[in-house]
Amino acid sequence: MMHWSSFSEFLAMGGKGFYVWGAFGVTALCLVLEPFFLARRRRATLARLARRLRAEAKTGDRP
């Protein structure tokens, strides 16, 4: 069981605070950004498919 005598000791994590909190921060950032990137990719894919369908409808080309 770990016990710290102050909040700054807790943040320091026995000298490994930079690694621990840095890893936590990077993970949190990835979890926050992932839905944004997925939504952007979905919009791009839907736009590409819509352009393709319009082009096929215009030329009468069907694969």
pLDDT confidence bin for 1, thresholds 50/70/90: low
Look up residue 14 and give its DSSP letter: G
> What's the whole-number mean pLDDT along residues 43-62?
89
Q: pTM, whole model, 2 decimals?
A: 0.63
pLDDT confidence bin for 62, thresholds 50/70/90: low
Radius of gyration of the chain (CA): 25
pLDDT in tens, 7-51: 888 888 888 889 999 999 999 999 999 999 999 999 999 999 999
Predicted local confidence at residue 56, as pLDDT? 87
